[in-house]
Amino acid sequence: MRIAVIDSGVHAAHPHIRAVAGGVTVGADGSIEEGVFVDRLGHGTAVMAAIQEKAPDAEYFAVKIFDTALRSTAKALFGAMAWAIAQRVDLVNLSLGTTNPAHADEFERLLALAAEGGTAVISAVEVMEQACFPGSLAGALGVACDDACDRHEYRTRSAEFAASGYPRAAPGIPKERNLSGISFAVANLTGFAARAMEQTGARGLAQVREALISGCRSSDM
């Protein structure tokens, strides 16, 4: 099981991080810097930790596109997705996205490329009630945030899924002051997807979606 986390990199020595197989930094112009992925923001570390909590035995790759702020370019995101797909990972976690529909065509091309290689891309389906790309496209597994959902469960919502927007608890930090939001709903669902794949042997978007639906303990379909 190989999982790429496209985010702000990872702090590999963090106690919530088990192991990182490798990674890259993708520059604003789409350039690739191999072996460099130190997290300066903490976001990518918290995202990977949420996934690893549920799928600790997978092989993880940090694909860094954020450095000093949680902002990047479309070229960086497209380059990061292309790199992850070329590594033939099983899952790509995108705890990010864009509401700009001008990028939909390129996302659709990359999702089709992912499907050819058996890679499933998991991303936010909406942000502030606006469709978010690529998660709202048919070629991705879209996730919504539902804080009424326990962190150890997920829900189905017709064509997409919903999960808790809270990451792993941080010692000494109240839940209300910890990071939260759609980023961690995506990460939690990626963890559930990885676990379902390990248990069922599912591969590719359609099989992963079916495995999640079959294993869901809470549904409003």
122, 112, 59, 161 alpha-carbon torsion, rounded to 10°: 20
Report which residue type is found at 8: S
* Mean pLDDT in residue range 3-8: 98
Q: What is the pLDDT of residue 220?
A: 38
For the stretch 124-136, pLDDT in tens is 999 888 999 999 9
CATH code, domain carrying 106:
3.40.50.200
Reported as a pLDDT band with limits 50, 70 and 90, residue 221 is very low
* Mean pLDDT in residue range 107-120: 98
* Mean pLDDT in residue range 38-56: 96
pTM (global) more than 0.85: yes
Q: What residues make up the domain containing 158?
A: 2-219
Cβ atoms within 10 A of the Cβ of 1, count? 15
Percent of the chain with pLDDT over 70: 93
Q: What is the pLDDT of residue 192?
A: 97
For the stretch 147-191, pLDDT in tens is 889 999 999 876 689 999 998 877 667 666 667 799 999 999 999
As given in the structure block, the two tokens for residue 122 are 């998991």
DSSP 221: -
Q: What is the pLDDT of residue 219?
A: 36
When divided into structural domains, the chain yields a total of: 1
